[in-house]
């Protein structure tokens, strides 16, 4: 991740809690030192956050906005944005679709780009490499979760429906071998 | 945890690893272009399977299914021909450490929990890690400076796996990874360099600062979080999105000749301006390695680094450079224990390491004929 003030690597990740507002800062060593010195000296100039209003990971957002965002969770794997922010790891491929808006500024900050230009799957005679293949296969993650919950509630008919839906998707995208 | 396992499996697994102790890994061969400074060139690709949660979110059962799904497909695909599959979850700690020291698996895979494994080709150029941070980490390494060759090989392996595994891919974000720092190409291109003269002339920090400015990362011998030991450094790309794989390979590749030139100039400077001092340092290092009665892995690495430079500068005549490379890994804790066939605590390892080094150098120091028993 780059420093919000220059091109150096951000090594300090600061969360400020002031008058009910949460602000996150990602700074290199030099800019962090300057910032902390200013803070200790009782304020002074605040660093400009490169991303402006829509800065990375909640910069400039109020505590309320961030709290709402943190509650948002992926319908497939169930991970909340709060859990992702804490762990730094996403839960499943669908998170890139579900949290696209939230991840975009973060990814832009890390890579300085927001679009892949490299290799693409090019499987001949198979659809699984196509984007819709990923989307449909990823839905299996949600179906498995739902199936487990149904079993736990002894809703066996629902569980069977989920199981059949999983099998149909596996058959379609993975062929007879399935999992 | 080990109770109840078929003993023949243990024996089989032990034999696979024992065979490795007899061979020399790819990155230790000490051959290839610029191998006086460039130890190895490496590329890794991070890939995930679309229908499973990422590893950190996966249950124990999910991990077992991911491992089985990938193992079956990788080992049966044409790309898996000749691949040796090792169940890392079932290994003793010393064996996992052994694979880390050989750079066939990452520290993260060694320390992870649950079902996980690695497929390794006979030449130790390709390793396929299952259930590391991502479902699949494909790694390819060549001796010396050969990024183009590594990229060509790993692209072929990736294509082969893609025919049988549905990778998680998004038209905008590319290959989807557990951590957004790897998304897009999922590629990490790295070159391991031996830069003792830049360290001795105190120019290394300046070099690293300029590398950071062009978005390249510098790591120690064993990758992320590891300390630079024995003046060995890995230079790699930090970003993975917005550039093609070829552009990222080029980004790292372009800087290597410059670093090689700096190191060569620093070596020339040392010989020209401080020959007696350098010769003294190299000779002392060689002397300690040949006579010490107890020695740590860190000190061994540091001294071998000095001797390696001394051999390349023509200050030591009777040592083979590939033998030094071999000693760099065989004196590490797990290798030493595997070679000796004993479990040793730190104190005993230091004594055994010194004995191993003395035996090696008494034998003339040439080739890779260090005693194996």
Q: Report the predicted TM-score, pTM, of the whole model to 2 decimal places.
A: 0.82
Higher confidence at residue B3 or residue B16?
A: B16
Percent of the residues in chain B that have a pLDDT greater than 70, as a whole number = 90
The dihedrals phi and psi of B256, each to the nearest 5 degrees, come to -60, -45
CB-based contact B238 A77, cutoff 8 Å: no
Helix axes A156-174, A131-152, angle to 10 degrees: 160
The residue whose two tokens read 């420093």 is A3
- Check residue A61 and give its pLDDT: 62
- Check residue B4 and give its pLDDT: 39
Q: Considering only the beta carbons, identify the residue of B56, B174, B212 that sits closest to A8.
A: B212
Q: Are B38 and B260 in contact (CB under 8 A)?
A: yes
B155 touches chain A (CB under 8 A): yes
Q: Which of residues 158-187 of B touch A (CB under 8 A)?
A: 158, 162-163, 166-176, 178-181, 183-185, 187
Q: Considering only the beta carbons, identify the residue of A77, A112, A133 that sits closest to B166.
A: A133
Q: Would you place residue B268 in the very low, low, confident or very high pLDDT band (cuts 50, 70, 90)?
A: very high
- ipTM higher than threshold 0.90: no
Q: Is the predicted pLDDT of residue B45 greater than 80, yes or no?
A: yes
- Check residue B14 and give its pLDDT: 55
How does DSSP assign B181-206, residue by residue?
GGTBT-EEEEEEEE-HHHHHTT-HHH
Question: pLDDT tens digit string along B64-109?
Answer: 999 999 999 998 877 777 889 999 999 999 999 999 999 999 999 9
Q: Considering only the beta carbons, identify the residue of A9, A110, A133 that sits closest to B50.
A: A133
Which of A103, A94, A130 lies closest to B52 in space, CA to CA?
A94
Q: Would you place residue A179 in the very low, low, confident or very high pLDDT band (cuts 50, 70, 90)?
A: very low
Burial B150-168 (b: 16+ CB within 10 A, else e): bbebbbebbebbbbbbbbb
The size of chain B, in residues, is 373
Tokens representing B114?
Answer: 């649950």
- Check residue B40 and give its pLDDT: 93
User: For residue B47, what is the enclosing H or E element?
Assistant: strand B38-47
Angle at B106 between CA B104 and CA B111, to 5 degrees: 125
Q: Would you place residue B16 in the very low, low, confident or very high pLDDT band (cuts 50, 70, 90)?
A: low
CB-based contact B51 A115, cutoff 8 Å: no
Question: pLDDT tens digit string along B240-257?
Answer: 999 999 999 999 999 999
List of residues 6+ apart from B205 with CB closer than 8 A: none
Higher confidence at residue A102 or residue A12?
A: A102
Q: Cα separation of B41 and B234, whole Å?
A: 9
Question: pLDDT tens digit string along B197-224?
Answer: 999 999 998 998 899 888 899 887 765 5
Question: pLDDT tens digit string along B288-328?
Answer: 999 999 999 999 999 999 999 999 999 998 888 888 988 99
Query: Nearest-CA distance from A19 to chain B in Å?
Result: 31
């Amino acid at each position: 991740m780059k420093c919000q003030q220059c091109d150096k690597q951000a090594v300090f990740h600061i969360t400020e809690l002031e008058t009910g507002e949460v602000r996150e800062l990602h700074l290199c060593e030099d800019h962090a030192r300057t910032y902390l010195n200013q803070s200790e000296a009782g304020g002074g100039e605040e660093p400009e956050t490169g991303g402006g209003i829509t800065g990375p990971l909640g910069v400039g957002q109020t505590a309320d906005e961030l709290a709402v965002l943190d509650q948002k969770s992926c319908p497939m794997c169930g991970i909340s944005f709060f859990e992702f922010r804490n762990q730094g790891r996403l839960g499943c491929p669908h998170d890139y679709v579900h949290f696209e808006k939230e991840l975009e500024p973060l990814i832009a900050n890390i890579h300085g780009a927001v679009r892949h230009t490299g290799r693409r799957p090019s499987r001949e005679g198979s659809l699984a490499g196509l984007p819709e293949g990923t989307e449909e296969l990823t839905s299996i993650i949600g179906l498995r979760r739902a199936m487990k919950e149904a079993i736990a509630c002894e809703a066996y008919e629902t569980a069977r429906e989920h199981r059949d839906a999983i099998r149909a998707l596996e058959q379609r995208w993975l062929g007879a071998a399935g999992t | 945890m080990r109770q109840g396992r078929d003993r023949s499996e243990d024996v089989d697994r032990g034999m696979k690893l024992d065979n490795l102790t007899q061979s020399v890994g790819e990155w230790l061969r000490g051959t290839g272009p610029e191998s006086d400074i460039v130890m190895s060139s490496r590329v890794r690709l991070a890939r995930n399977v679309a229908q499973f949660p990422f590893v950190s979110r996966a249950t124990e059962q999910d991990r077992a299914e991911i491992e089985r799904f990938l193992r079956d497909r990788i080992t049966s695909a044409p790309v898996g021909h000749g691949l040796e599959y090792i169940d890392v979850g079932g290994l003793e700690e010393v064996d996992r450490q052994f694979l880390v020291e050989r750079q066939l698996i990452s520290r993260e895979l060694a320390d992870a929990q649950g079902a996980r494994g690695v497929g390794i080709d006979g030449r130790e150029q390709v390793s396929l890690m299952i259930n590391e941070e991502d479902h699949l980490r494909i790694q390819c390494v060549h001796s010396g400076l050969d990024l183009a060759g590594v990229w060509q090989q790993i692209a072929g392996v990736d294509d082969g796996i893609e025919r049988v595994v549905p990778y998680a891919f998004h038209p905008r974000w590319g290959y989807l990874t557990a951590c957004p720092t790897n998304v897009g190409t999922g590629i990490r291109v790295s070159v391991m360099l031996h830069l003792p003269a830049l360290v001795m002339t105190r120019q290394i920090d300046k070099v690293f600062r300029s590398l950071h400015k062009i978005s390249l990362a510098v790591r120690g011998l064993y990758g992320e979080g590891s300390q630079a030991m024995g003046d060995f450094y890995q230079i790699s790309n930090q970003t993975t999105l917005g550039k093609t794989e070829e552009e990222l390979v080029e980004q790292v590749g372009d800087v290597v000749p410059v670093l090689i030139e700096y190191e060569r100039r620093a070596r020339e400077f040392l010989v020209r301006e401080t020959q007696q001092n350098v010769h003294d340092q190299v000779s002392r290092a060689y002397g300690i390695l040949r006579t010490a009665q107890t020695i740590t892995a860190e000190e061994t690495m540091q001294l071998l680094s000095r001797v390696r430079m001394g051999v390349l500068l023509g200050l030591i005549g009777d040592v083979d450079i590939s033998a030094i490379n071999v000693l760099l890994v065989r004196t590490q804790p797990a290798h030493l224990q595997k070679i000796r066939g004993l479990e040793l605590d730190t104190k005993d390892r230091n004594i055994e390491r010194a004995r191993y080094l003395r035996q090696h150098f008494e034998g003339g120091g040439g080739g890779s004929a260090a005693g194996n028993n």
